[in-house]
Amino acid sequence: MSATTEAPDTTAAAKPKLKTSAMIASFADPGQKTASAPFGHALVKAAQENDRIVGLTADLGKYTDMHIFAQAFPERFFQMGMAEQLLFGAAAGLAETGLVPFASTYSVFAARRAYDFLCLDAAEPNLNVNIVGGLPGLTTGYGPSHQATEDMAIFRGMPNLTIVDPCDSIDIEQAVPQLAASEGPTYLRLLRGNVPTVLDEYDYTFELGKAKVLRGGNDVVFVSSGLMTMRALQAAKALGEHNVDVAVVHTPTIKPFDAETVLAEINTDRLAVTLENHSVVGGLFETVASAVVSAGLGKRVVPVALPDEFLDAGALPTLHERYGLTVQRIVAKVLAELG
């Protein structure tokens, strides 16, 4: 063995820069207009007008923007610890006494870990319990333990439960008071931190249970929910440069589903595409597909959705590109479909 072997160069300059999987990576584009913690501020505002609103969390207050409410109303905030079954059972108990609880945790824990408690304690007696789930779909690079790619599939089967998949800060701000005012349990797919503000550029207001046509178009119709409505709008603009005219229908309420509005848009000669930040199984695509079949429409629908598999860990931009959620991938898919 030679004693003169050159040591490997371990300086940073010599290595390619790695992309990191920050836990709460933002999906906002650089320079995009955003609002800080829209859920937390909306809940405070709603609670100022409705003294029955209370908040609770399972050791994730800071990570679900619930800390904003806790700071504003410490006597109306209840920390349940890392105990999601207690979180949902206690939320039901609070609702039984006439209060309107908002209970936050991550979507993976809400959907997978404590389902029975939301189902039997809140949904069966149809109590006004509002669940707020952070990191829905692919909004974290931490892998399957944190990526709730099938939360809507799990929750859609729960009777009485309203499911909302908001696009941006506007949706969240307007949804919160409506969720508080609606009877029965709800599940909100939370976007937290600095959340893009997108829908203020359109003639739009959030109405629980309603889909809205954001823009018209003659060649393609996008039906989208959640952050994928933002991508749908961006992709529609990009496709315009290819002389493809795209309509966008935003359907933030997944259940109950506004089939009337969506089917009226789908039942045309345009290419129909659903876009969702969720598994292709059991989410928006299948909701639309079942509505199409039930109405007897012989219409093909193309899904843009996450694959039916456990996803990789990694940096969010890398993963969105890998699994087809980026504008570039959407545009390519539509152009391929149009031949």
**Which is nearer to other proteins, 116 or 260 (by Cβ)?**
116
Element (H, E) at 35: strand 34-36
DSSP string computed for 109-128:
IIIIISHHHIIIIIITTT--
Which one from 84, 150, 173, 276 is the annotated catalytic residue?
Answer: 84
State which amino acid sits at residue 176: V
Pick the closest to residue 208 from 186, 226, 190 (CA basis): 186
The answer to whether 84 is a known catalytic residue is yes
CB atoms within 10 A of CB 104: 29
CB atoms within 10 A of CB 66: 29
C-alpha pair distances (Å), 6 with each of 9, 10, 11, 109:
9, 12, 14, 50
**Which is nearer to other proteins, 187 or 285 (by Cβ)?**
187
Give dist(CA 174, CA 204) in Å, integer: 11
**Which is nearer to other proteins, 128 or 274 (by Cβ)?**
128
CB of 124 to other proteins, least distance (A): 6
CB of 54 to other proteins, least distance (A): 7
CB of 38 to other proteins, least distance (A): 26
Give dist(CA 193, CA 200) in Å, integer: 18
How many Å separate Cα 174 from the centre of its chain? 15
Pick the closest to residue 308 from 335, 281, 338 (CA basis): 281
**Which is nearer to other proteins, 83 or 289 (by Cβ)?**
83
CB of 122 to other proteins, least distance (A): 10
DSSP conformational letter for 204 = -
CB of 69 to other proteins, least distance (A): 15
In sequence order, what are the residues at sequence separation of 6 or more whose Cβ sits closer than 8 angstroms to the Cβ of residue 103? 55, 56, 57, 58, 80, 87, 88, 90, 91, 129, 130, 131, 132
**Contact positions toward other proteins, by CB under 8 A?**
54, 75-76, 78, 80-81, 83, 85-86, 88-99, 101, 116-117, 120-121, 124-125
The answer to whether 137 touches 99, Cβ cutoff 8 Å, is no
**Which is nearer to other proteins, 92 or 191 (by Cβ)?**
92
CB of 37 to other proteins, least distance (A): 24
**Which is nearer to other proteins, 11 or 97 (by Cβ)?**
97
Cβ-count burial 135-172 (b if 16+ within 10 Å, e if not): bbbbbbbbeeebbbbbbbbbbbebebbbbbbbbbbbbb
Q: Catalytic positions, please?
A: 84
